[in-house]
């Protein structure tokens, strides 16, 4: 897609009052957003993906990405912790709390920790140790009807501790019916899940998959937002329509989805190698 077209759709999202999720890992995303912000009268709140293995490395990314986007502050920093820094946070080492200086300096408003099945133990230990709240304001991970990318034990701890969640990948990459019916349209594990989930969607009465997914997220306790993505105006319009006046899915529908999540986590996700999903 041409740069100008990307700016146009980004500006549409900004003008609609949406928060934005971004990273300098996403090609020209920051340049696109900088231009879109310049063309708009609105000033969007944004979540920036930042990492990796040291406080200095994260500080450098914060400064560099803010400069590239033409902004002075990121509302939320999505921490992607690895190596020694992940271990420090996991075990309550005070060195990880040096990240809080970025808040004190006004460069970052809040921190959420990016989670996957293969790093769930980091958050499990931090929550059990009672020190997660000293740095974090919440967690962020794939959470939609076909994916719940934290292990069962962590999911239960999140509910027990009332940790806020930002749910990524609203529609799991595309329609459940396409994932079920079109060979190669989705990874094998998602195709198998789609076979189980499609009957629940088809009996829901929802107009489309986007509505179903937005209503799922809207009704989840502790979920503050769902993060979708698109470069197509029609899809953005569908997101906006679904989010305008969302009504939670019926309790029994959500319960059926969560039961599938628990099964999938036990049978597949806990065995997943890094970046295999």
pLDDT along the chain (277 residues), means of 10: 94 96 93 95 94 96 96 97 97 96 98 98 98 98 98 98 98 97 96 98 97 97 96 95 95 98 98 95
Question: Tokens at residue 125, please?
Answer: 């230990």
Report the relative pairing of strands 108-114 and 46-52 from DSSP bridges: unpaired
DSSP 44: -
| Amino acid 1: pLDDT | 86
pTM (2 d.p.)? 0.96
First to last CA, the chain: 26
Domains in the chain, ordered, with CATH? 1-114 (3.20.20.100), 130-277 (3.20.20.100)
The predicted structure's pLDDT at residue 11:
96
Whether omega before 190 lies within 30 degrees of 0, making that bond cis, reads no
Residue 27's pLDDT is 87
């Amino acid at each position: 897609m041409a740069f100008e077209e990307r700016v146009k759709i980004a500006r549409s999202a900004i003008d609609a009052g949406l928060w934005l999720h971004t990273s300098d890992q996403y090609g020209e995303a920051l340049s696109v957003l900088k231009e879109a912000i310049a063309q708009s009268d609105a000033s969007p709140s944004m979540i920036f993906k930042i990492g990796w293995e040291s406080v200095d490395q994260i500080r450098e990314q914060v400064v560099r990405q803010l400069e590239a986007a033409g902004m002075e502050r990121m509302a939320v920093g999505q921490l992607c912790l690895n190596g020694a820094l992940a271990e420090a946070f996991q075990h309550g080492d005070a060195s990880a709390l040096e990240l809080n200086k970025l808040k004190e300096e006004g460069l970052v408003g809040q921190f959420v920790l990016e989670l996957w099945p293969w790093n769930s133990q980091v958050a499990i230990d931090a929550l059990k140790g009672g020190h997660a709240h000293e740095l974090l304001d919440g967690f962020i991970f794939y959470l939609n009807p076909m994916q719940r990318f934290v292990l069962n034990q962590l999911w239960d701890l999140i509910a027990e501790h009332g940790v806020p969640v930002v749910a990524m990948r609203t529609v799991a990459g595309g329609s459940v019916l396409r994932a079920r019916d079109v060979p190669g349209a989705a990874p094998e594990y998602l195709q198998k899940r789609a076979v189980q989930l499609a009957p629940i969607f088809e009996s829901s009465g929802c107009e489309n998959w986007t509505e179903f997914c937005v209503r799922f997220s809207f009704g989840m306790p502790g979920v503050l937002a769902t993060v979708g993505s698109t470069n197509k105006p029609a899809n953005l319009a569908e997101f906006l329509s679904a989010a305008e006046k969302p009504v939670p899915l019926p309790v029994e529908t959500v319960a059926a989805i969560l039961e599938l999540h628990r099964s999938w986590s036990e049978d597949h996700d806990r065995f997943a190698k890094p970046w295999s999903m």
